[in-house]
Structure 1
Amino acid sequence: MKIYDSVQKTKLAFNPLQEGKVSLYVCGPTVYDDAHLGHAKSALVFDLLTRVLRANDYDVTYARNITDIDDKIIKKAIEQNKSIEEITDFYTASFHKEMEAIGVNKPDIEPKATQNIEAMIEMIQKLIDNNHAYVTSEGDVYFDTASDSEYLTLSKRIQDEEDKQERVESSGLKRNSADFAMWKSVKDDTITYPSPFGPGRPGWHLECSAMIEKHLAQEGTSAAVDIHGGGADLLFPHHENEAAQTRCSSNHKLANYWMHNGFVNIDGEKMSKSLGNSFFLKDALKEYDGEVLRFYLLSTHYRSNFNFNSEDLSTAKKRLDKIYRLKKRLFGLADNTESSKFQVEILAALSDDMNVSTALALIEEMISNANETLDTPGKHKLLKKETISNLKYIETILGFGVKNPFEYFQFGMDEDTKEKLTSLIAKRDEAKKEKNFELSDTLRDEILSFGVNLMDTPQGSFWEKV
């Protein structure tokens, strides 16, 4: 495998810390609002990465955190007169549901910030003891950026005096303007945790460093994890600060490889809540099948900025439709797991820093060749078996084509109508069994009146939305 490292800005051969094993950590959501397309893009990219790693026979441990304590969460809880848990539980459940809808597999580990406060306090204390952090007279704890000679080597950034790294107003008690909070003293009655530095809450950057160290780091390795990932917007300050904390509190660096996915733009504009174009995933799922969104958001290279627009989304749907139409032609035939040249080529493309463009071109070629052969008299049994195997491989490694091909084409029909159609088809099947062809024809016409196509197959009767 080859991976583009965001820090060295070059494609590198992938060599894990431990032979045959891979540890991957990706920054997850802060659960105070619905997931947007940026969250979806990042989750999909690293879902694909885990699939490719596993296809290369690596034993992968994938962790994605949940930030469930944050000033924004507290603000929303106060505004809605709800508890912190009500807010975080609701948006965590929504996030999980929407990730499932776009085919994102659950991570192996999903640590929550509130469940790892002790690990965070332990890391802060180490940094204070090592003279890399200091406690202010108000009880805040800051990382001393001047104490770290390697600070900013991750982002290659030149520090601007005006840079503000915190999610709260900058304090005049900081030694340097670049110093960032690891523990924020809290004097009000919102929510606090006890600590040797006084009651307060952890800083955002600290959470990931501490959770990585607790859940993934191994003794005697040169880095806490093999790969650390997230959106490009996290490189500075979040990942820069994470790396500094880990480096200065332990005897290893944070990650061997850094991977960042590009931004999502909406019709050419950078997605931003302040611009009013932060497209929520739940809204997109009302208009399009989750797998269509998956196909579309993965259709360009993960490092490229992604321009989301309805025209390209429709084009992506047509490309995914081709997979399902081929799958429909082979519906009901036994699964086949034999490997093929196509599968070797797909894995080679995706192992090259997830070259999805080449992978999709290979899929288009495979579909075209399969359909051409199936259209020829005297269809080849060997070709059918190989095609079924190829479609199964696409499902596994890319997450495309996982649905029943008939049900896929039913998207957009409301549940009540689906139930009516299911009932009508069952009645029609019964009429056909009883050789009541007049009733069968009447029921068929009623089914077609819903704006669907009806297909009779050896496995039963199915419908799809026109």
Structure 2
Amino acid sequence: LEEITNKYIAHYESDMGALNVLDPDFKPKATQCLEAIISYIKVLMDRGVAYKTCDGIYFDTSKDSGYFSISGKDNNTDLIARVACFCEKRDEKDFVLWKFDEKWDESPFGKGRPGWHTECVAMIREFLSDKENDKFEIDIHAGGIDLLFPHHENEASQCRCAYHKNLSKYWMHNGFIKVNNEKMSKSLNNSFFVKDALKKVHGEVLRYYLITSHYRAHFNYSDEDLVASKKRLDKIYRLKKRVDGVLAGMANESFKNELLEALSDDLNASKALASVDEFVKTANERLDNNPKDKAYKAEVVANLGLISEILGIAITNYVEYFQFGVSDEQKEHIQKLLDERAVAKKERNFARADEIRDELAKMNISIMDTPN
């Protein structure tokens, strides 16, 4: 089991790295936190909000007056109606804290395994709460909209009943990813993975594309929109190339505030990207009119640094970014052609120089000749 889970954890971490997602401080595994989980269940039992049946320990949702406060649902929700009501459960909303099973782990309640909702809330308390000062509430709890009920509702309920505190200040739920307006599914054969997209574009392009839509909205993936995002990100990298070698000055406060205000508006990254587009356009226009403005170039470099720090894009070296997908063998061939063209120009063999330029153009490589 550990071999299988480690394999997929490695895949996940590789994907997240390609998307410039910061590594978390803690990466707990439920199997390594059984002591904390069992301790949490004991607290719930001591509080009188858990009870034992023939097949496990269950949470008594009737003891929580705040149940449904996270999801806004009620007893008539279809999700509850679809749950099979085990004969010894006091209420169909009640959920298992510890499921008896002789094949699993020892506990004071008997051999078994923890319930899904309890694993999560116990690990949050173990790694993120300030137990010494009895501070529990975390800042943000996130997850897919499909986890809102019952999973997040049940997590929050356990926390209220065990420690009389809220689990999180803010709950953020992201929408689903669709492909060409259809839900991803094996039956439609339209599922895709991050690794599939990374065969086509640099990881930052995919990151950029994903944040063009509000996190709460369902995201409709299409190759056309991915290409459009690449073109927008390309413009940022061309500006980065344009000010290469310039030391950063002071960032523009107005631009910084625009980015932060957009993200303060329920993490409206698409609004922030619109500000970035406008900045890139304005910067290019000013540099076209005054290419020797060193002070403004220094400001542009600082603003580009803000974009990288706040939005996690335009972090890569521009040469590496634009050479994405080009093999070492191709790079060697391209460099050989460039060297040959330089010799041809030096020898005033302009016909051969033009031939090489056209050959490179067929490889989607454009050459811009400068006085130097």
TM-score between the two structures when normalised by the length of structure 1: 0.70
Q: One-letter code of the match for 2:95?
A: F
* 1:90 counterpart residue number: 7
Q: One-letter code of the match for 2:2?
A: E
What secondary structure, in the 3-state scheme, does the structure 1 residue paired with 2:98 have?
A: strand
Q: One-letter code of the match for 2:48?
A: N
Q: Aligned partners of 1:161, 1:289: CA distance in 2, in Å? A: 43
Shift of 1:92: 0.2
* 1:121 counterpart residue number: 38
Match 2:268 to one of 342, 352, 355: 355
Stretch of structure 1 that moved more, 270-279 or 346-355: 270-279
Count of paired positions: 368
| Contact 1:421 1:447 survives alignment (8 Å) | no
| Contact 1:165 1:180 survives alignment (8 Å) | no
Q: 1:324 to 1:123 in 2, by over 3 A?
A: same
Structure with more relative contact order (C-alpha pairs < 8 Å, separation 6 or more)? 1
Q: Aligned partners of 1:110, 1:330: CA distance in 2, in Å? A: 39
* 1:304 counterpart residue number: 217
| Contact 1:161 1:178 survives alignment (8 Å) | no
Stretch of structure 1 that moved more, 151-160 or 114-123: 151-160
Q: One-letter code of the match for 1:115?
A: Q
Q: Does 1:174 align with 2:97?
A: no
Q: Does 1:143 align with 2:59?
A: yes
* 1:186 counterpart residue number: 101
Match 1:318 to one of 212, 227, 231: 231
| Contact 1:165 1:178 survives alignment (8 Å) | no
Q: One-letter code of the match for 1:163?
A: L
* 1:280 counterpart residue number: 193
| Contact 2:98 2:115 survives alignment (8 Å) | yes
| Contact 2:357 2:366 survives alignment (8 Å) | no
Q: 1:343 to 1:455 in 2, by over 3 A?
A: farther
| Contact 1:134 1:143 survives alignment (8 Å) | yes
* 1:12 counterpart residue number: none
* 2:183 counterpart residue number: 270
Shift of 1:361: 2.0
**Residues 164-313 of structure 1 aligned to structure 2 (within 5 Å):** 171-188=86-103, 192-219=104-131, 220=133, 223-273=136-186, 275-313=188-226
Q: One-letter code of the match for 1:318?
A: K
Q: 1:421 to 1:141 in 2, by over 3 A?
A: farther
What secondary structure, in the 3-state scheme, does the structure 2 residue paired with 1:307 have?
A: strand
RMSD: 3.4
Match 1:402 to one of 270, 290, 315: 315
| Contact 2:304 2:314 survives alignment (8 Å) | yes
What secondary structure, in the 3-state scheme, does the structure 2 residue paired with 1:375 have?
A: helix
Shift of 1:344: 2.6
Name the one with the larger strand percent.
Answer: 1
Q: Aligned partners of 1:257, 1:105: CA distance in 2, in Å? A: 20
Q: Aligned partners of 2:302, 2:8: CA distance in 1, in Å? A: 38
Shift of 1:164: 5.5
Q: 1:326 to 1:130 in 2, by over 3 A?
A: same
What secondary structure, in the 3-state scheme, does the structure 1 residue paired with 2:198 have?
A: helix
* 1:130 counterpart residue number: 47
Shift of 1:336: 3.7
Q: 1:94 to 1:416 in 2, by over 3 A?
A: farther
| Contact 1:263 1:306 survives alignment (8 Å) | yes
Q: Aligned partners of 2:189, 2:76: CA distance in 1, in Å? A: 28
Q: Aligned partners of 1:85, 1:297: CA distance in 2, in Å? A: 31
| Contact 2:49 2:63 survives alignment (8 Å) | yes
Q: Aligned partners of 2:51, 2:189: CA distance in 1, in Å? A: 39
Shift of 1:99: 0.3
Structure 2: stretches of 5+ with no match in the other structure = none
| Contact 2:251 2:300 survives alignment (8 Å) | no
Q: Aligned partners of 1:161, 1:302: CA distance in 2, in Å? A: 25
Q: Aligned partners of 2:308, 2:106: CA distance in 1, in Å? A: 48
Q: Aligned partners of 1:446, 1:321: CA distance in 2, in Å? A: 22
Q: 1:426 to 1:223 in 2, by over 3 A?
A: same
Q: 1:378 to 1:126 in 2, by over 3 A?
A: closer
Q: 1:340 to 1:141 in 2, by over 3 A?
A: same
Structure 1: stretches of 5+ with no match in the other structure = 1-83, 461-466
Stretch of structure 1 that moved more, 193-202 or 223-232: 223-232
Shift of 1:354: 2.0
Q: 1:163 to 1:312 in 2, by over 3 A?
A: same
Q: 1:377 to 1:177 in 2, by over 3 A?
A: closer
| Contact 2:248 2:299 survives alignment (8 Å) | no
Match 2:20 to one of 103, 110, 126: 103
Max Rg structure: 2
What secondary structure, in the 3-state scheme, does the structure 2 residue paired with 1:151 have?
A: coil
Name the one with the larger helix percent.
Answer: 2
Q: Does 1:329 align with 2:242?
A: yes
Q: Aligned partners of 2:77, 2:235: CA distance in 1, in Å? A: 54
Shift of 1:394: 0.5
Q: 1:97 to 1:245 in 2, by over 3 A?
A: same
Over the matched positions of the two proteins, sequence identity in percent amounts to 46
Q: Aligned partners of 1:236, 1:326: CA distance in 2, in Å? A: 45
What secondary structure, in the 3-state scheme, does the structure 2 residue paired with 1:367 have?
A: helix
| Contact 1:163 1:178 survives alignment (8 Å) | no
The one-character-per-residue Cα deviations of 1:379-404 (angstroms, maximum 9, x if unpaired) are 31122111111111101111111112
| Contact 2:156 2:167 survives alignment (8 Å) | yes
Q: One-letter code of the match for 2:175?
A: G
| Contact 1:221 1:252 survives alignment (8 Å) | no
Q: Aligned partners of 1:396, 1:85: CA distance in 2, in Å? A: 35
